[in-house]
Amino acid sequence: MGYCLAVFRIGTYIVVFGVFVFVGVCGHVLFFMSPQRLLKWISFFAQWWARVTCMVLNIQFHIEGDLCAKPGSLIVANHVGSPDIFILGACFKGFFVSKAEIADWPFFSWLARLGMTIFTDRSKRHQVKAIIKDIGERLNADHSVILFPEAQATDGTDVVPFKSAVFESAVLTKRPVLPVVIRYHDGHKPTIAHYGDSFIRHLFTLLKAPRLKATVMILPEISAELNRQALAEKSYRAIRVKVVDTSKTQIGY
């Protein structure tokens, strides 16, 4: 049954992939002379791509908190696996910051590039200023930017300390940081949403799963009137408290 579902979803997603690649290309052609209009076009259809992906994979999520993020917010969340991207993309209109390796993945890289994802290679320190500048330009244009400051996926039971460099963009632009917590409810430990040690195995596990439930907790925004280290630490503590408390509740503490 699981393999049949996976095959059906792959077939469906090939169609979805083709449609959104076409839409992305059209946007770049139509608005290549108008960066602001292009950003609006891409952010609108990127949110619909995420929503359709959640439908295809039957990812159901419940939202706690105020979903109305201010335009130009820096949205930060804990990171468990690829469903995080689909869920956050469905919730918020904005652009992702992603690790550079995705730019080399077949098919996924096309959507990421058409979606104007900001790629970061943390092994190259000279790129940090350019990344901060790119994020700042999106924030100043009233486009939210979504990122995972842990810079790695975890099993969802805890949060590792945040990398602070990207928070400099919020400090420089005086834009708020919006902390978000994602929790999965599938009875697996770790959850099937977790990357694990193989992306291909992780992907097929998702494709075979009949349903994946999650809760998205939107926490109070944090003012950017701090230095980047303090801002990263405050965001980290806000998210970690919710993740750890929820983990304890689920295992009966």
- How many other C-beta atoms can be found within 10 angstroms of the C-beta atom of residue 58? 14
Of residues 57, 80, 75, the one with CA closest to residue 247:
80
* Domain architecture of the chain: domains with CATH: 2-250 (3.40.1130)
- Report pLDDT for 144: 96
pTM for the predicted model, two decimal places? 0.91
Query: Cα–Cα distance between 233 and 239 in angstroms, integer?
Result: 10
Per-residue confidence band for 252, with pLDDT thresholds at 50, 70 and 90: very low
Query: Cα–Cα distance between 114 and 125 in angstroms, integer?
Result: 25
- Report pLDDT for 247: 64
- Report pLDDT for 236: 97
Q: Which parts of 13-109 are beta strand (E)?
A: 59-64, 74-77, 94-99
Angle between helical axes of 2-30 and 35-56 (0-180°, round to 10):
170
Q: Give the chain's mean pLDDT.
A: 88
Q: Which residues of 6-30 are buried (b: 16+ CB within 10 A; e: fewer)?
A: beebeeebeeebeebeebbeebeee
**Tens of pLDDT along 144-186?**
999 999 988 888 889 999 999 999 999 999 999 999 999 999 8
Burial class (CB in 10 A: 0-12, 13-18, 19+), 152: exposed
Q: Which of 31-40, 109-118, 160-169 has the highest mean pLDDT?
A: 160-169
- Report pLDDT for 68: 83
- Report pLDDT for 100: 65
Number of residues that make up the chain? 253
Burial class (CB in 10 A: 0-12, 13-18, 19+), 151: middle
Looking at residues 102-123, what average pLDDT do you find? Answer: 73
Q: Name the amino acid, one letter, at 150.
A: E
- Report pLDDT for 253: 34
DSSP 8-state secondary structure symbol assigned to residue 22: H
Per-residue confidence band for 141, with pLDDT thresholds at 50, 70 and 90: very high
Tokens of 66: 């105020």
Question: What are 119's strand-pairing partners?
Answer: 98
Query: Cα–Cα distance between 211 and 90 in angstroms, integer?
Result: 17
Query: Higher confidence at residue 97 or residue 103?
Result: 97
Residue 71 has pLDDT above 70, yes or no: yes
